[in-house]
Chain A
Amino acid sequence: MSTLIISPSPHVHSGDSVKKNMYGVIIALLPALAASLWVFGLGALIVTVTAIAASVLFEYLIEKYLLKVPSTISDGSAVITGLLLAFNLPSNLPIWIIIIGALVAIGIGKMSFGGLGNNPFNPALVGRVFLLISFPVQMTTWPKPMVNIGTYLDATTGATPLSIIKEGLKNGDKLTDLLGKIPSFADMFLGEMGGSAGEVAALALLIGFAYMLYRKIITWHIPVAVLGTIAIFAALLHWANPEAYAGPLFHLLTGGAMLGAIFMATDYVTSPMSKKGMIIFGVGIGVITILIRVFGAYPEGMSFAILIMNAFVPLIDRYVKPKRFGEIVK
């Protein structure tokens, strides 16, 4: 000992780190990745590898040559962005489109705002929505589940449950008949339906949710608020007119409801800081999702709902404060 170290308290730290949280999220995404490979096979593998590699590479290149700052790729956040982007894409999407998506997600969605911690919108969703608007045909052509294990661009395609119902109702078909044309709820729960690569298996996503709760990476507030609102809103519509509106289970198990609620809406950077704020944020996402699905032009509204609510986060944080000590009178 030569000199004593002087610093203000606290003198101990929990040992938690950005890396631990990010890699924790990646571990939580592994069951969904496994399900994705099981349902969509080779295509899902190519899409996932491309999206992750491109996201990490773009972050590296932008930091090295444009921003000239130390690289942050080892913190794991670019891997998550790539993984989530892949999960939000059809598994037969051409590589060059995926690369454009990763460039928009990392370049515009994240780095243009100053990198990790500063982006107002979920980067993966910025990339996904950019692709949806730019390449509407490729982005809404869905490989069929379980029959495309060895195929990629040549995958046989079909409609998703959400679009079957949406198109059918538009054509004046009866809801009861349409429900017969989609997979059973049990199949949907296990992921046997058309959709984006990583969104189909509710079970796998819920396992990831349980893991993140166990590791205290996220709290229950946002996912429960999102899914609870979707369920209640759908139940009310269904109860008002069972002929025209599908029930809560349908809305919970289809599209990006689970993936969005558990992994996209809970993104630290783009969600509120207080528990009350998280609930408001989640309710907003649930309401907008159902509004778009039921009354909007798109069959699915999860991505838009999250991005719209991302925009409200600063406002929510400004006015919705955590519960204060001394506020609760017992």
Chain B
Amino acid sequence: MLKTFSLGGVHPAENKLSAGKKIEVLPIPAQVSIPIAQHIGAPSAPVVNKGDSVKVGQLIAKSSGFVSANIHSPVSGTVFRIDNVLDASGYKRQAIIIKVDGDEWDESIDRSQELKKEITLSPEEIIKKVGEAGLVGLGGATFPTHVKLSVPPGKKAEVLIINGVECEPYLTSDHQLMMEKGDEIMVGTQILMKALKVDKAIIGIENNKPDAIEHMSKLAAQYEGITVQSLKVQYPQGGEKQLIDACIGRQVPSGKLPIEVGAVVQNVGTTYAVYEAVQKNKPLFERVVTVTGKSVKNPGNFLARIGTPVTALIEAAGGLPEDTGKIIGGGPMMGKALASTDVPVTKGSSGILIMPDEMSKRKETQPCIRCSKCVSVCPMGLSPYLLMTVAEKAMWDRAEEEDVMDCIECGSCSYTCPSNRPLLDYIRLAKGTVGQIIRSRNK
């Protein structure tokens, strides 16, 4: 029987318009803009100055804490300026802007396409290497990968779960990566297994991608300890806690990390980046981005350098459609609406979704009819209707008591609500406020 997670979930229209489209290498733009905050944790500290010349793969901003990440130049050229620019979150943040000149790579990077299977580094060296290469979770969460691989003292990892779920509608970058870079992902998985000292890895893939399940299962047979688990299509199965529940039937307790149940989850894109970092000495400076939408001429999957303006991606997919209403960085369920097409691709950019105008506006909100559908679909077992009400009334104690901090912001509640109530908007407000209250209490 097909597995899935135990609580809630929805099944939005999949709309995988770019499925099966070969990864196209996007031309290098004339100028890139690299935000220094494109991961969870402390922003990186620039180590280059205006006027410096840089090569592809050269460190340009250093990790500034345990939870932080290095950033490498995705292009060769000259640092034009270090300035505040608008990023995908809609804020002006510091970024390193580089004028491109040629495409000269750092000599230490192995640019051959040859598959390198033998893993020579020790677990500690792997984690160090992953940290140096600036790897973060490429599924969208952008949590620094080396931190996730550093198992805290007293805890033990038992199983590695590779996230090939791609439960967001429209997005296909992970799917296509599995089809084209399956072997590299397998080796990446083995590297991660070695780093975590586990002998078991499960690659979870939803069964709307039968080609990927078949392809990866065939490959997995050649690698020790790796199995493929096909999963029933159910959003948000790509959520870390939901995927662990689906694959091994263990539930991470409230407020705890996956390691509590012996699991570590990594996205397939991240796993591919691990392969490149460890076997090819290549830092993270490019990624696969899906560009898609109902009115987009050529929806597709593009390999883009970090810092490439979104405009360039949209051009590559056939240009901005006439009827565009909204441009989303990421998928339709959890992605962020972009304020401008000038914002750069960052490590967390899994897709650019262009929504036609008529799909971009919310419908009118009506009173809650207590249908309880938000409660039924919540994958965390919360009561979204109640959280919204207490947030409206600023009852923060009650919001905390109702475990608002457990919300993973998957949006299933707002998606489902027949009255079009902005449940998640209010829950985010409550999460932000309650989070501040908790932090100040713990000081």
Contact = CB atoms under 8 A, between A and B. Distances in A.
Interface of A: 1, 4-14, 16-18, 20-21, 75, 77, 115-118, 219, 268-275, 317, 321-330
Contacts of A117: 367-370
Given A9-B334, A10-B411, A273-B383, 13 more contacts: A11-B359, A273-B372, A273-B385, A273-B386, A317-B386, A321-B383, A322-B375, A323-B381, A325-B6, A325-B251, A325-B254, A326-B251, A329-B251
6 shortest interchain CB distances as A-B pairs = A10-B411, A324-B381, A117-B367, A16-B418, A326-B253, A12-B332
A246 to B, nearest CB: 34
Contacts of B381: 321-325, 327
B366 interface: yes
A37 to B, nearest CB: 29
A8 B325 CA distance: 14
Contacts of B320: 1
Interface in B379-426: 379-383, 385-386, 403, 406, 409, 411-412, 414-420, 422, 424-425
A327 B418 CA distance: 28
Contacts of B380: 324-325
A6 B337 CA distance: 5
Given A6-B339, A11-B328, A21 B378 contact: no
A10 B355 CA distance: 13
Interface string B360-372: 1111001111111
Given A117-B368, A325-B241, A326-B252, A12 B359 contact: yes
Contacts of B336: 9
Given A8-B425, A324-B254, A326-B254, A116 B335 contact: no
Q: Which of A5, A20, A75 lies at the interface centre, i.e. has the most chain B CB atoms within 10 A of its CB?
A: A5
A323 B6 CA distance: 10
A245 B253 CA distance: 49
Nearest to B372: A273
A268 B249 CA distance: 32
Interface majority SS (helix, strand, loop, mixed), chain B: loop
A6 B90 contact: yes
A17 B369 CA distance: 10
Interface in B297-330: 320, 322-328, 330
Contacts of B418: 16-18, 20-21
A11 B368 CA distance: 20
A329 B256 CA distance: 14
Given A9-B424, A10-B332, A1 B324 contact: yes
B254 A116 contact: no
Q: Which of A7, A117, A326 lies at the interface centre, i.e. has the most chain B CB atoms within 10 A of its CB?
A: A326
7 contacts: A6-B339, A10-B332, A18-B366, A20-B418, A275-B376, A326-B254, A330-B249
B212 interface: no
Interface in B227-258: 241, 245, 249-254, 256
Q: Which of A269, A273, A317, A323 lies at the interface centre, i.e. has the most chain B CB atoms within 10 A of its CB?
A: A273
B338 interface: yes
Nearest to B169: A12
A295 to B, nearest CB: 32
Given A4-B339, A323-B7, A328-B6, A16 B373 contact: yes
A189 B407 CA distance: 47
Contacts of B369: 18, 21, 77, 116-117, 268-269
